Amino acid sequence: MAHTETEPAISDERMRTMALIVASALFMQSLDSTIIATALPSMARSFHQPPLYMSVALTSYLISLAIFIPASGWMADRFGARDVFRAAIVIFTLGSIACGLAPNLALLVAARMLQGMGGAMMVPVGRLVLMRSISQRQMVSAMSWLTVPALLGPVIGPPLGGFIISFASWRWVFDINVPVGIIGVFAVTMFIPNTQEEGRGGRFDSVGVTLSGCAMALLMAGFETTGRHLVPLGWTAAAYAAGLAACAMYWRHAKRHPQPVLDLTLFKIPSFAVPALAGSLFRVAVGAMPFLLPLMLQLDFGFTPLKSGLITFTAAAGAIFMKPCAPPLLARYGFRNVLIWNGAIAALAMSLCASFEPNWPSLVMNLILFIGGFLRSLQFTALNVIAYGDIPRPRMSAATSLYSTIQQLSLTMGIVAGATALDISTTLRHHLIPAKPDYAMAFIAVSAIGLLASPFCARLPRNAGAAISGHRAGEAE
């Protein structure tokens, strides 16, 4: 698709500064989403509640995310991306303070929903701020910075949470967000321009927000209760049915509304539709990894939380090492080849976790996870860049809202897929608790889902994203 709009002109140094600011906010959100899981038993004791009930502290946040993400693009167009991004950081930080001060479970849930409101705006609007401010030439490098926190947070969260719980109160799990949030507000004010697009910020699609919010909340509730025996199976089935019905109602509504909150016509752009679908399959596999791997290392292998964290952390090191490698790899091989072959190799690397044994040297597991982290980070960078490569700038806010909604659903489905595969294997083998063969089966199952992404990536044209990567189709083949 030809672009006629004027390209932004900022220096590479300013681009890196902006990318780091946005990445820091995304890291705070990603870290918080995983670190709380380690603190749930301590929180249950503090509130005198059964540990099983504490899962509401996780689901309330995810449901709040699901409700407010679709409105993020309209908010950015109506009030300015920088102002909305800065307000999101403030809301998330205030929600973190409220969580740390919560005297009971009910107020903790309310504070987590406030956090979710801020997080829902922080993720897509942060990406929008960056995408509106950089040129196509800078997209690969900028997205490389944003990919790292998405992979780093789930890896650092569990061991950091264990360290905090061991030496301080669970309330510090939330308090660590406060200094990051304060610094982020000042950094956004000083270095981020307040980009704003005309055309989508006028009429608010209240019906669309209601329908999309209900659909997302109900589907997320179904995902969160699948295979966990938290509620009767009928309630889970009802949540899925109602969520799918709300999706159908929204689809009908979006066809008739001139400016729907989630613009489904973006799927007519192949370079957006293919990464959205293929990326969802790949994210399902990746989303299961932070759930399955610590469980296997700690519950089955008997590793301490610290030793488990030191092993899983190497995946984040691989993701960081990828950052300078992405631009030359994409320039050499192009988006299509990288997404097909790197995605397939990355899925196979995830399946190698099925072969881990407790008597293996830690160095061997570290090496496998390091390589896997590198490959997954490269895949996410390529997916996130090509998805926006042909999006006209006036429609960028709509694209970030829709893409972020898809991301949130697929990552949550990853946890569901991992938990379901583990539960099925445990039941079929008549185990009371998951054993090594059950974890192996779960790793193979989710890796197979990730492997399905490669055939979809083959539908991209050979020259897809050539203007961004500088790749010339035919030279690398």
Predicted confidence (pLDDT) per residue in 225-267, tens digit:
766 566 777 888 898 899 999 999 999 998 888 888 888 899 9
Residue 124, in any domain of the structure: yes
- The reply to whether 411 and 441 lie within a common domain is yes
Q: Who's near 282: CB < 8 A, 6+ residues apart?
A: 343, 346, 347, 379, 383, 450, 453
- The reply to whether 464 and 332 lie within a common domain is yes
Query: What is the domain count for the chain?
Result: 3
Higher pLDDT, 468 or 207: 207
- pLDDT for res 2: 42
- Give the residue numbers spanning the domain of 67: 8-205
- The reply to whether 395 and 461 lie within a common domain is yes
Residue 17, in any domain of the structure: yes
Residue 50, in any domain of the structure: yes
CA atoms within 13 A on the CB side of 125: 36
The yes-or-no verdict on residue 355 having pLDDT over 90 is yes
- The reply to whether 348 and 253 lie within a common domain is no
Residue 3, in any domain of the structure: no
- The reply to whether 171 and 315 lie within a common domain is no
Please, are residues 74 and 64 in contact by the beta-carbon 8 Å criterion? no
- The reply to whether 144 and 30 lie within a common domain is yes
* pLDDT tens digits, one per residue of 300-351: 888 876 777 778 778 878 887 887 888 889 888 889 999 999 999 999 999 9
- The reply to whether 174 and 187 lie within a common domain is yes
